[in-house]
Amino acid sequence: MNVQLHDCFGKKEAVLKSTLSLVGKQGFHGTPMSQIAKNAGVAAGTIYHYFPSKGALISELYIYVKDRMAKAIIDGDDPSKSYKERFFAVMVSQYRFYVENPDSMNFLEQYINSPYAQEYAHLESQLFVEKVITFFKYGIENAYFKNIDPRLLAPTIRGTLVAAASFQLSQHMLFSDEDINEVVSIIWDGIKRQ
């Protein structure tokens, strides 16, 4: 009985997780709704109770994943530290999120370059905007960074972190804290005001 209470959003979340796991590996087109359903343990029609279409499911998953990433990123932030220290901590958190959630990383990379991102361009994780983007804006406004348009900053950072995380995953390597710091310093040195 109590399980039910905890489970009241169970099917919707099961569908989201199923989609994330499959799309991360097979791509949008390679992942039929029927497989998503089977993998989630629900009937194909059930998906359509929660999401009006495959596109809507994908775009809602985008918010879902971005929210989780934002939480993971912000978790490592300690506002009492210096901005540079905070920046490094935030970057390390994002890097770790990618490495620990490769499906999420693959999904996000695919989403960004897909027609869904255009069609559902108005949908964005509020948490990510409020916390992460705000954090970067602070760095820009307080002249820690070069005078870069903030819309350029985000993909630049993402590109480097994704490249490093993909590399680590594909090589089945373990990166030491120092290795990760090295990666983040590529970003920091690139964008910091010299």
Partner DNA sequence: AATGAATGAGTCTTCATTCAT
Partner DNA sequence: GATGAATGAAGACTCATTCAT
Contact pick of 13, 25, 27, 32 for DNA (by CB under 7 A): 32
3-state secondary structure at position 83: helix
- State in angstroms the smallest separation of the CB of 115 from DNA: 12
CA angle 124, 28, 110 (to 5 degrees): 55
The stretch near a copy of itself (CB under 8 A) out of 4-12, 41-49, 52-60, 152-160 is 152-160
**Chain centre to alpha carbon of residue 95:** 10
Q: Which of residues 43-102 bind DNA (CB under 7 A)?
A: 43-46, 48-50, 52-55
Considering beta carbons, is residue 13 or 173 the nearer one to a copy of itself?
173
Say which residues have a Cβ less than 8 Å from residue 72's Cβ, sequence separation at least 6: 93, 94, 96, 97
Binding mask 7-46 for a copy of itself (x = CB under 8 A): -------------------xxxxx----------------
Give residue 185's identity as a one-letter amino acid code.
S
Considering beta carbons, is residue 61 or 162 the nearer one to DNA?
61
The answer to whether 152 contacts a copy of itself (rule: CB under 8 A) is yes
Considering beta carbons, is residue 42 or 70 the nearer one to DNA?
42
Binding mask 57-86 for a copy of itself (x = CB under 8 A): ------------------------------
Distances, alpha carbon 89 to alpha carbons 17, 86, 92, in Å: 27, 5, 5
Are the CB atoms for 23 and 84 separated by under 8 Å? no
Of 166, 154, 73, 61, nearest in space to 114 by CA: 61
Q: Please report, to the nearest 10 degrees, the dihedral formed by the alpha carbons of residues 40, 44, 50, 53 taken in order.
A: 120
List interacting residues with a copy of itself (CB under 8 A). Answer: 26-30, 106, 109-110, 113-115, 146-149, 151-152, 154-156, 158-160, 162-164, 166-167, 182-183, 185-192, 194
